[in-house]
Structure 1
Amino acid sequence: MSVFNLAKPDRPIEVGVILMNGETEILDVAPVDMLHCFSKKFIETLPEEWVSEDVKAQALDLNFHWVSEVGSAKQSRLTSAISLVPTHSFETCPPLDVVLISAHNVGYTPNDAELAFVRKAWNNCSAFLTICAGVKVAVQAGILGGKTATAPRFIINTLRRQSQSIN
């Protein structure tokens, strides 16, 4: 992982949601919107009665990226019949400081290009968040060895069998 200081950023923070080619669970990508709530773009729209100028001055300069293997060439599928046009492909995505990966549909196996991009994102980022079964992608990419990871209780034993080097 990179050493960019998220607590004292000296440039915009690049936040990316990596979408697999399977169907992504919309609930699991929703946490990215929590980060959006701290962004200058959002905070500046709030009236001073709600948020003081002092708090507004602390808002973060955040850029958001929705990333898939082929980017905008193909819409990504999310649950509840939502389609999303990714902003970047693996090839065009800038280095990400914060990465979020969510669960995808049961039975989908990430391909080699997806796993390679996850490894690349891991090496460049300062924060790597997996939501729900999104941790399976990180396990399959082989990036969690020697790390402590969390997962939904119902898949913990399966993940431990797949990678015994993860705490």
Structure 2
Amino acid sequence: MPPLHIGVLIVPPIQLLDLSPIDLFAMATQDYFRACNFPAPLIAIALPTALFKISYIALSGPNTFAPSTPSLDLKITAGLNDESVQPGKLDILLIPGPPPGLRPEDEVLEFVRGHVGAGVDLLTVCTGVFVAGFAGVLEGKRATGTRGVMDVLGKTFPGVKWVDRRYTNDGRIWTAGGITNGMDMVAAYMRQSERFEGQLVDTVLAIADVQDRGQEYKAGKVADSAWWVWNILRAWVGGMGRGKGKAA
């Protein structure tokens, strides 16, 4: 079994739920299966832990800490220029979402372009697609993002073929919609990747209770927008009621 090196590019501050799909990869290792007290036949199909590595990469460099939205600082293990994470050294590059519309530094964008050019499997979650968009690696490709900013994505990156799906892929580039759609995307990626045996993927997804929800949303975009309008209206009406109560 060949080594597997996954890089997680952190453009702070990120949401931890965007980062959470990385755990599906980590759960596919023999150490994790042993910790679960699985029988030897199942441990044998898992990834050898010695051949598995995750690097957390940021412009700030190793041994720095990147903030996240729930005020948990993430320890960075590699900088953009570290030899171990240069193009050709990573098999998968995962980008969790920073604030919508945030344009990363040029060094970060060049890092993404270099890896895509070297043939990495690029996976973005939620607003992580902005990083790929600013890097220019989505031009002419199908991609998706969280529904709340699809209009912004279309205006900012008009050369991208935007689709309204939980996740989609165009060749080696995978993009996920809203926050938890990252789980759906990674589940589908693992099922399609030759790196992961089918029984191994089934076991990991069963442990994590990740369901195969498919690419298509159950509710259309119009229904989704209508729900938000109704939710905002309820908040407005409720706010008026609370205001009157205070005045009384």
TM-score band, normalised by shorter chain: 0.7 to 0.9
Of residues 4, 15, 19, the one that matches 1:29 is: 19
Using the TM superposition, give the Cα deviation of residue 56 of structure 1 relative to its aligned residue in structure 2, in angstroms. 1.4
Asked if the contact 1:40/1:62 (under 8 Å) is kept, the reply is no
Using the TM superposition, give the Cα deviation of residue 40 of structure 1 relative to its aligned residue in structure 2, in angstroms. 2.4
Match of 1:3 in 2: none
Using the TM superposition, give the Cα deviation of residue 146 of structure 1 relative to its aligned residue in structure 2, in angstroms. 2.2
- Paired with 1:90 and 1:122, the residues of 2 have a C-alpha distance of 15
- Paired with 1:119 and 1:41, the residues of 2 have a C-alpha distance of 33
The structure with higher relative contact order (CA 8 Å, sep 6+) is 1
Q: Aligned-pair RMSD on alpha carbons? A: 1.8
- Paired with 2:118 and 2:126, the residues of 1 have a C-alpha distance of 22
Bigger helix fraction: 2
Q: Which amino acid aligns with 2:43?
A: K
Of residues 39, 46, 49, the one that matches 1:59 is: 46
Of residues 28, 33, 44, the one that matches 1:38 is: 28
TM-score (norm 1): 0.83
Asked if 1:144 corresponds to 2:138, the answer is yes
- Paired with 1:106 and 1:163, the residues of 2 have a C-alpha distance of 13
- Paired with 1:121 and 1:91, the residues of 2 have a C-alpha distance of 12
Mapping of residues 81-92 of structure 1, within 5 Å: 81-92=71-82
Counterparts in 2 of 1:123 and 1:136: CA distance versus 1, 3 Å: same
Unaligned runs of 5+ residues in structure 2 are 162-248
Among all aligned residue pairs of Structure 1 and Structure 2, give the percentage whose two residues are the same amino acid: 27
Q: Hey, which bits of structure 1, 4+ residues long, moved more than 6 A?
A: none
Asked if the contact 1:71/1:85 (under 8 Å) is kept, the reply is no
Bigger mean CA deviation after superposition, 36-45 or 23-32:
36-45
- Encode CA deviations 1:68-113: one digit per residue, 9 max, x unaligned: 1132253111121111221110111422111111111346420101
Q: Which amino acid aligns with 1:144?
A: L
- Paired with 2:140 and 2:101, the residues of 1 have a C-alpha distance of 27
Bigger Rg, which one:
2
Residue-pair matches, total:
154
Match of 1:4 in 2: none
Bigger mean CA deviation after superposition, 118-127 or 133-142:
118-127
- Paired with 2:42 and 2:96, the residues of 1 have a C-alpha distance of 30
Mapping of residues 5-154 of structure 1, within 5 Å: 10-20=1-11, 22-47=12-37, 51-60=38-47, 61-92=51-82, 93-94=84-85, 95-106=89-100, 108-154=102-148
SS in 1 for 2:99: coil
Asked if the contact 1:38/1:59 (under 8 Å) is kept, the reply is yes
Using the TM superposition, give the Cα deviation of residue 52 of structure 1 relative to its aligned residue in structure 2, in angstroms. 3.2
Asked if the contact 1:96/1:125 (under 8 Å) is kept, the reply is no
Unaligned runs of 5+ residues in structure 1 are 1-9
Asked if the contact 2:103/2:134 (under 8 Å) is kept, the reply is no
TM-score (norm 2): 0.58
